[in-house]
């Protein structure tokens, strides 16, 4: 699979996270942005607090890609799900509830 730019800010690269959609110039998958958003973080919080290397536009594009490709991204989220009992309690406590 060749590098494929999907949008200005979303791409797929062979050998990077199995070719799933990522933010251009980063190894951050769209699914990570979606899961964090579902936890209650705003687009601005994601871009400024959690991933300061990303712009608000990049986070917005990731969420728009999800809106347009919900089934694919939901499948990637499910395939990469970590059972709660395997998440360290300090990490679990830092996550916001949806």
Structure tokens at 64: 């728009």
* Assigned CATH topology for domain 4-94: Arc Repressor Mutant, subunit A (1.10.10)
| Residue-level pLDDT, tens digit, the chain, 98 residues | 565 667 889 999 888 898 999 999 999 999 999 999 998 999 999 999 999 999 999 999 999 999 999 999 999 999 888 777 777 777 766 665 54
Q: Is the torsion defined by CA of 97, 21, 59, 88 positive or negative?
A: positive
Provide the pLDDT for residue 23. Answer: 96
**Cα–Cα distance, 86 to 58 (Å, whole number):** 30
**Cα–Cα distance, 40 to 43 (Å, whole number):** 10
Provide the pLDDT for residue 93. Answer: 67
């Amino acid at each position: 699979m060749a590098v494929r730019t999907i949008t200005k800010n979303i791409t797929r690269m062979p050998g990077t996270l199995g070719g799933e959609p990522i933010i251009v110039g980063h190894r951050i998958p769209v699914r990570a942005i979606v899961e964090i958003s579902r936890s209650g973080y705003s687009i601005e919080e994601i871009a400024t607090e959690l991933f300061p290397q990303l712009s608000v536009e990049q986070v917005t594009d990731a969420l728009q890609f999800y809106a347009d490709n919900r089934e694919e991204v939901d499948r990637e989220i499910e395939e990469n799900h970590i059972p709660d009992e395997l998440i360290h309690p300090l990490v679990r406590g830092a996550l916001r509830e949806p």
